[in-house]
Amino acid sequence: MDILQAMQARHSVRKYTAQKIEPEKVQALQEEIAACNQEADLRIQLFTEAPEAFGSLLAHYGLFHGVQNYIALVGKESASLEEKVGYYGERLVLKAQMLGLNTCWVAASFSRRKCKAEIAADEKLVCVIALGYGTNQGRPHRNKPLESLCRYEGEIPTWFLRGMEAAMLAPTAINQQKFRFHLHGDQVRAEATGGPYSLVDLGIVRYHFELGAGQENFSWENPLLRRHKQ
């Protein structure tokens, strides 16, 4: 499965079997996490066979069952932390999908107190990604009309359309899809239009858009990493 197929196949999965993640897959995930942490100066941490954070009523209320593994998305507090976490977290989600695993982004339905992540005083746990072998593969989410999620003049370039289609496959908190992509020549600006965790969503949809559109076809008017270095 390549990464575009992974985007198509991925849906949120909230019920997991007891099957453990094989050591070689854990290793592959750890390597991807290390790469993300280095590239973006984050402290993303993987926990396997650690059911505590999803053992509470809160998790069951959120319809989670059998979650034994999760990725904690931690980084230094900054204006761009949430967007960065979205971007790199989704890279890990698609990596997991390619390894044959299922996932679900989780901001609310888990116990922050029982989460095992190390979080320094200047750091924040933004959210987690539940991970493992699902009892099902989930199902496609509803979409807003493409026209409401982007702005362009004249004819829509094929690469921009492909980017939009990829962005529309992305997970967003409560499936809110509160994002908009603006096209100006070969420049694209991505914006969050409000709502809970919409900056995390923005990072996620940015990652999908790049994969769908092809990075060689455009440049960001508001790039993600440059802003972090300011």
Ligand X SMILES: Cc1cc2nc3c(=O)[nH]c(=O)nc-3n(C[C@H](O)[C@H](O)[C@H](O)COP(=O)(O)O)c2cc1C
Residues binding ligand X (CB under 6 A): 11-12, 14, 62, 104-109, 127, 138, 141, 171-175, 197, 200-201, 204
Three-class secondary structure of residue 73 per DSSP: strand
- Spell 163-173 as b/e; 16+ CB within 10 A means b: bbbbbbbbbbb
Of 190 and 204, the one with the shorter C-beta distance to ligand X is 204
- For 132: left if phi > 0, alpha if psi spans -120 to 50, otherwise beta; the answer is left
In the complex, residue closest to ligand X by CB: 171
Residue 60 CB, shortest distance to ligand X, in Å, is 11
Residue 216 CB, shortest distance to ligand X, in Å, is 27
Of 110 and 218, the one with the shorter C-beta distance to ligand X is 110
Three-class secondary structure of residue 102 per DSSP: strand
Closest CA to 127 of 166, 173, 91: 173
**Beta strands across the sheet bearing 69-76:** 45-47, 69-76, 123-132, 102-106
Q: How far apart are CA 131 and CA 134, in angstroms?
A: 8
Residue 146 CB, shortest distance to ligand X, in Å, is 16
- The first and second tokens of residue 53, run together, are 């954070």
Of 92 and 183, the one with the shorter C-beta distance to ligand X is 92
Of 47 and 87, the one with the shorter C-beta distance to ligand X is 87
Residue 90 CB, shortest distance to ligand X, in Å, is 8
Residue 107 CB, shortest distance to ligand X, in Å, is 4
Token match 């993640």: residue? Answer: 21
- The first and second tokens of residue 12, run together, are 């949120």
Of 54 and 160, the one with the shorter C-beta distance to ligand X is 54
Of 132 and 171, the one with the shorter C-beta distance to ligand X is 171
Of 130 and 150, the one with the shorter C-beta distance to ligand X is 130
| Cβ atoms within 10 Å of 227's Cβ, excluding its own | 14
Q: How far apart are CA 9 and CA 138, in angstroms?
A: 9
Residue 87 CB, shortest distance to ligand X, in Å, is 12
Task: Return the H-helix or E-strand segment holding 165.
Answer: helix 158-168
Residue 213 CB, shortest distance to ligand X, in Å, is 19
**87 near 192, Cβ under 8 Å?**
no
